[in-house]
Amino acid sequence: MSYIGQHLPAFKLNAYQHGDFHEVSDTDLKGKWAVICFYPADFSFVCPTELGDLQDHYERFQAVGAEVYSASEDTEFVHMAWAEASPTIKKIQYPMLADPAGKLATALDVRDEASGQAFRGTFIIDPDGVIQAYAVNNFGIGRNADEILRTLQAAQFVAAHGDQVCPANWQPGAKTLTPGADLVGKI
């Protein structure tokens, strides 16, 4: 099943952010673009490199009107302990979602039942709560925040300019394509 064009499932999860705990639900994501990045586990190896990379790009995500959320099946208390122990995680400003029952990971089909952990699923959700892009990587394959941001910006462009599409390697400000008979066989 493809999640493209599907509404983000209803959820309500605890989150850790800046030394505090709060609740985040699907309704909190409405009204702005959102990126949810699932990862296997706190106190692991590839995960802090990805979360640190997202933090290094966090202001750029915010500048284009998007909020970033990381999510694992650890509790918010484990997120806090990890932030206290790791200099990389300590610098994170975005919400770290706690999905210890794996309900959201299961609903989005990124939960590995054998390990009880989430694969590296990335979901880009529009302001109406509709999934516009997603990718899932296996445990050992880290993601690139630049590419997540580029994909988000392409989704935003297409949403704003429905008659145009973004070709491979498109960057904001680059040429787009307007599908039509005049392009058939010409690209």
Residues annotated as part of the active site: 47
Residue 174 DSSP class: S
Q: How far apart are CA 170 and CA 13, in angstroms?
A: 34
Return the beta strands (E) in 33-169 as ranges. 33-38, 66-72, 96-98, 111-112, 117-118, 120-125, 131-137
Tokens (6 digits) for 185 = 């066989």
Label residue 52 exposed, middle or buried (CB < 10 Å: 0-12, 13-18, 19+).
middle
The backbone torsions φ and ψ at residue 23, rounded to the nearest 5 degrees and listed phi first, read -100, 140
Beta carbons of 95 and 62 less than 8 angstroms apart: no
- Contact of 62 with 69, CB cutoff 8 Å: no
Please report the beta strands in the chain, taking only residues with DSSP state E, as ranges in sequence order. Answer: 12-17, 20-25, 33-38, 66-72, 96-98, 111-112, 117-118, 120-125, 131-137
